[in-house]
Structure 1
Amino acid sequence: MTTIRKAKANDAGDFAELMLISAPYFSTLFGKKVKTLLQNLFKCQFNLFSFDHVYFAEIDGKVTGMILGYDWQTKKRENVRTGFLLFKKLGISILGRLLALIKLNETVGRLEDGEYYISNIATYPKHRGKGIGRRLLLEAEQETKVIGVEKIVLDVEKDNVNAINFYRNLGYKILEEFSISLRRIKIINFYRMAKELK
């Protein structure tokens, strides 16, 4: 049986693994130490990768998936601190990534007032098809009702057809398409999808 629970700081290992499943381009953006970086950010409160914004799914006490999300007020409040922590953890090497990070922040994850952002959602491959992603997304939707959110938004890679169909089946609609270039290495195409809450 699947249970959903709030994350704890000691879930950092699973968080980093699942983040890279949901956003493999992070390896291109952050380099070889990406797992350590994600674990460190996860353990720190008041940043957009903090355990405070994560739910985990478990079966028999084993983590099977996770979702990371936050509202527009949290984004405004924690955006600068997230950048500061990235600088602190990456040091001078952040300068080579700065333009890509700014572009990423202005496109992926942008929020309007009244919106909630699903930043990342992933399940371990051996647990796919069990309804875990659906349960995680519904948990996030329940959280948004409590805080008065009007719309949930997310960004999905355009070539991730399974994820796009998953979101469509849960009532999400494509709003727009956009692209970002990561460090002159890779261009990623995204759809912005949204679901209005009643």
Structure 2
Amino acid sequence: MTFYIRKAILEDAPKTAPLIYEAIGDIANRLTGENETSQVISTLEALFRRTDNRHSYLYTYVAESEVTKGILGILVLYDGQVGAELDASLQRWLEQKNAPITSIDMEAYPDEFYVDTICVHENARGLGIGTALLEFAEKVAQLEGYSKIALNVETQKVKAQKLYERLGYVVTEPWTIINEPFFHMVKLIK
């Protein structure tokens, strides 16, 4: 299958929101202030179209089929400093919305380029798309002048952790997001 990676556009919202939801699970409930799956996805679409939060189209890339033009996978990334600013904005929005949970856990250090979300559509898994997205993330990080790239992986996602380790990521410390255990993984890049 041939594909290319491009910057997301506003029209990608309906195809990217379900993949974001699939990748981050319960974290999506916290970031949207919603509990019903349809409402979570709808709110993720709305956040995708905005410019002031971590899941904005501004920070999203998509892997797209050259043949069908369908989205095969997504990648959300930004630097840790921007992440803190985006989360502060999202936290204010959640407070205005009277969401049940308004605090946002820090997910990266300011000196890291951060892979927030990566997900490959279930029909396209095993084709190297996830690896290509992570390699693309490294190139973006390098262009932005970063010497390390980071991500968090749920401790029970052993297969994903093995992929990240194969690509050169190393577990640097345990991490907690919405009271769930993660591993913070970092890769030094040139």
TM-score by length of 2: 0.88
- Tell me the equivalent position of 2:43: 37
In 2, the alpha carbon distance for the partners of 1:46 and 1:25 equals 21
Change in Cα spacing, 1:27 to 1:154, as seen in structure 2 (3 Å) is closer
Is 1:75 paired with 2:99?
A: no
Change in Cα spacing, 1:189 to 1:77, as seen in structure 2 (3 Å) is closer
Moved over 6 A (4+): none
Q: What are the equivalent positions in structure 2 for 1:97-116 lying under 5 Å apart?
A: 97-98=101-102, 101-102=103-104, 105-106=105-106, 109-113=107-111, 115-116=112-113
- Tell me the equivalent position of 2:92: 84
In 1, the alpha carbon distance for the partners of 2:42 and 2:95 equals 14
- Tell me the equivalent position of 2:117: 120
Contact conserved, 2:108 with 2:150, CA < 8 A, in 1?
Answer: no
Segment drifting more, 71-80 vs 152-161: 71-80
Change in Cα spacing, 1:70 to 1:27, as seen in structure 2 (3 Å) is closer
Amino acid at match of 1:118: V
In 2, the alpha carbon distance for the partners of 1:28 and 1:62 equals 26
Partner SS for 1:97 = coil
* Shift of residue 82, structure 1, vs aligned partner: 2.2
Q: What are the equivalent positions in structure 2 for 1:1-198 lying under 5 Å apart?
A: 1-26=2-27, 28-29=29-30, 30-32=34-36, 33-59=39-65, 60=67, 61-88=69-96, 91-92=97-98, 94=99, 96-98=100-102, 101-102=103-104, 105-106=105-106, 109-113=107-111, 115-180=112-177, 182=178, 188-198=180-190
Aligned identity (percent) is 30
More helix per residue: 1
Contact conserved, 1:9 with 1:42, CA < 8 A, in 2?
Answer: yes
TM-score by length of 1: 0.85
* Shift of residue 112, structure 1, vs aligned partner: 2.8
Amino acid at match of 2:4: T
* Shift of residue 48, structure 1, vs aligned partner: 1.4
In 2, the alpha carbon distance for the partners of 1:25 and 1:73 equals 24
Consecutive unaligned residues in structure 2, runs of 5 or more? none
Amino acid at match of 2:70: K
Contact conserved, 1:72 with 1:112, CA < 8 A, in 2?
Answer: yes
